[in-house]
A and B are shown apart, each in its own frame.
Chain A
Amino acid sequence: MSIKEPVEAFSSNPLEVILGPFTRNQGKGLSLLDMILGGIILYFTVKLVIDWLPKKVRRHSPWQQEWLGWMIGTLFFGIAAFFLFFFILPNLMVSLNLWIGTLGKPLLGLTMEHYHAVWVENEFYRNFINSLIVTAGVVAISLSIGTLAGYGLARSRTNLAFGILIVALIFRALPHSVLVAGYLPVFMHSREILEPIFGSSAPTLYGQPWAVIAVLVSINQPFTIWMLRSFFQNIPSELDEAARVDGCNHFQAFRMVIMPVMWPGVITTGLFSFLLAYNDYLVTSLLLDAQNQTMVPAISGYFNRETTTTDQVEAVAAAVSITAPLLLLVLVFQKQIVSGLVQGAVKG
């Protein structure tokens, strides 16, 4: 729906929604040539990703960390594909279609103008960047703090450790609005509160991305330590005991013995942290001001407006833009997500 003119997107005839005759008559759409050439190029791109990319990644990964290699590889590939399909191919096809004549006439009505409106005219990319900052910050910080705590909790059998876990479980149950009700007045007046300590450089925490990151990290912390603890329990403790016998202290044992084998658990937990930060509506919409929103709260601006059909189609386009990265995530990390769900349950 988001790639059609509003007239067709809301047409009662399903065939019209798919073929889009109105958009086609405006000269926007895919011709037979487009489809054939695009299909061929798409096929080779997919083939390249499946056959060629894994080999390259395996050979060139820095510091033997394959996941890092994958991240860099997919990033480069994604950018290249983006330019190929959205800038190079369309411009090439326009001249090719003109040159070839009848075969170049559009066959399937299709337009990207709503995406253009959302991303360029309404500056959705700003929200995208905000989302990127918040999610990256949350994942990085909550993992680095969480792994340490998870390891400590997994290797300790005291009542204190168990008490911390139970308290964390109770914290996990708290509705987020309860916590935000506690932050909001403090954050708005943080300048006056912190002035005695920091002097005139005291910040107003309201509207600061890093304050939101800190809040989301803490909200996510109970879940993170439970999950990582169950992953660390799966790593046999003989491993670090052996290292300790060889003269390492706990931190050295953690760094040299545990860290190389903990990545599957960390990646899985990171995925769930990512989801929490990316999907959050309540915290970000209350703690960031309207000009500075992340993607998910920003979309409420679209669907609350929804006065004209164009608005509605643009709302759909924005929703698709938000969902697309998640779809990719499921495709790539399906195994890790499932293992995370199972891990948390079976051990927790």
Chain B
Amino acid sequence: MKFRTFALFVGPSVLLMFLFIATPLISVLWQSFHLTKPVFENVEVETCTPSFTGQTCVTENKTRPKLNKEGRIIEETQFVGLQSYRSLIEPEKTLTALSSGNWSQIQNIDFWKALRFTLTFTFITLPLVIGVGFAIALAVNNVLKALKGYVIFISLLPFIITPVIGALSIRWLFIGDGILTAFLEWWLERDIALFAQGWTIELLMLFYRVWHSAPFAFVVLYAGLQTINQDSLESAIIDGANRLQRLRFIIVPHLMPLIIFIALIHLMDAYRVFDEIVGFSSQAHVISLQWLTYDLLTPDDSGSRSIGRASASAMLTMVGIALILVPLLRRTWRDHHEA
């Protein structure tokens, strides 16, 4: 294919990605070093009120935002360097907390709190999702072949359901005196409040995410299991390999590319954890990096959005995912060049 035709085919897509993915990144980088705020002016205002003896006049100095000719607030943007980053990370507070070895103090800073949760969430769900998906795939492949259709249908539901609503449905089961909490209370004969502290919410979130993503791993690995060379499995049986050995030396190596693919996709998706926070309304206890940026972007009580800090948090989020993905991407690149 000539370059010109190739460019015509790929052009629109590349242009869109450039316009709406690459340029926003640049503008985020720029915003994170700048601060936009309205220009204020000092005005002397004289207010007079009628009184019994005539007029009482009070003059006072007021600061108010400057307006331009059309009545819009004039805003100015200035370079503030690392100020947004600093107000996000709060280095002094972090350092004192670190030197005194006080972990809970670091957890008071939103950014570290979010980072801690995002990373633990990502790396705990990763093996669970792959493990559960693999187990279901093996079970369906070996024992439950007849049930294949039903298992796939049922497992597709959590994968396809809107994440916010999926999280909500779990929450409704466990909240206050939901069905399952009532059952647990009756069973353990004690009061249970699953939404009163951070770690129970986190457990529920982990559970939800595994329930949501394991079907994907299951479907992919099940398809992979169908492509395994039956001859090598049979010769392994003849050589006296037991189930575990067959699993370890034939099946897992064969599925390795798929497992890496699932890990890659899962790392990307789990690092983006956000819908769970919304669904569980867990802002008070647990937040994630994406939620932090989202929260900074939503208008606060006075209607202003802290764009600078949101951009700083977005940049740091991006650096995080880049660091996580570099080893996997390098592997993909190497595979391509070998092939």
- Chain A positions within 8 Å of B, measured between CB atoms, are 10, 12, 145-146, 148-149, 151-153, 155-156, 158, 160-162, 164, 166-186, 214-215, 217-219, 221-222, 225, 249-251, 275, 278-279, 281-282, 286, 296, 299-300, 303-304, 315-316, 319, 322-323, 326-327, 329-330, 334, 337-338, 341-342, 345-346, 348
A173 CB contact (under 8 Å) in B6, B28, B31, B268: B268
Distance between Cα atoms of A17 and B16 in the complex (Å): 51
Instruction: Known pairs A170-B325, A322-B162; list 5 more (Cβ under 8 Å).
Output: A171-B17, A183-B24, A186-B24, A186-B27, A286-B298
Contact check, B165 vs A319: say whether CB atoms are below 8 A apart.
Answer: yes
For the complex, count residues of B whose C-beta is within 8 A of A.
77
Known A-B contacts A12-B182, A182-B23, A345-B220; A299 and B164 likewise in contact (beta carbons under 8 Å) = yes
The residues in B between 1 and 23 inclusive whose CB is less than 8 angstroms from any CB of A are: 1, 5-6, 8-10, 12-14, 16-17, 19-21, 23
Select from chain A the residue with minimum beta-carbon distance to B315: A178
A296 CB contact (under 8 Å) in B164, B258, B315: B164
Contact check, A286 vs B294: say whether CB atoms are below 8 A apart.
Answer: yes
Q: A161 to chain B: which residues have CB within 8 Å?
A: 6, 10
Determine which residue in A182, A299, A326, A342 has the highest number of CB atoms from chain B within 10 A of its CB, and name it.
A182
Distance between Cα atoms of A156 and B313 in the complex (Å): 38
B281 proximal to A (CB < 8 A): yes
Q: A172 to chain B: which residues have CB within 8 Å?
A: 268
With both chains docked as a complex, state the minimum distance between the C-beta of A189 and any C-beta of chain B, in angstroms.
Answer: 9
With both chains docked as a complex, state the minimum distance between the C-beta of A42 and any C-beta of chain B, in angstroms.
Answer: 21
10 chain-A/chain-B pairs, Cβ below 8 angstroms: A149-B12, A152-B8, A166-B329, A170-B325, A182-B27, A221-B13, A221-B16, A319-B168, A342-B223, A346-B258
Select from chain A the residue with minimum beta-carbon distance to B165: A319
B contacts with A: majority SS: helix
Question: How many pairs of residues, A versus B, come closer than 8 Å at their CB atoms?
Answer: 219
Q: B272 to chain A: which residues have CB within 8 Å?
A: 175-176
Residues 273-306 of B, flagged 1 when their CB comes within 8 A of A and 0 if not, give 0110010010000000111011001100000010
Contact check, A184 vs B261: say whether CB atoms are below 8 A apart.
Answer: no
Residues 139-182 of B, flagged 1 when their CB comes within 8 A of A and 0 if not, give 00000000000001100110011111100110010000100001
Contact check, B172 vs A316: say whether CB atoms are below 8 A apart.
Answer: yes
The residues in B between 34 and 56 inclusive whose CB is less than 8 angstroms from any CB of A are: 36
Q: B336 to chain A: which residues have CB within 8 Å?
A: 162
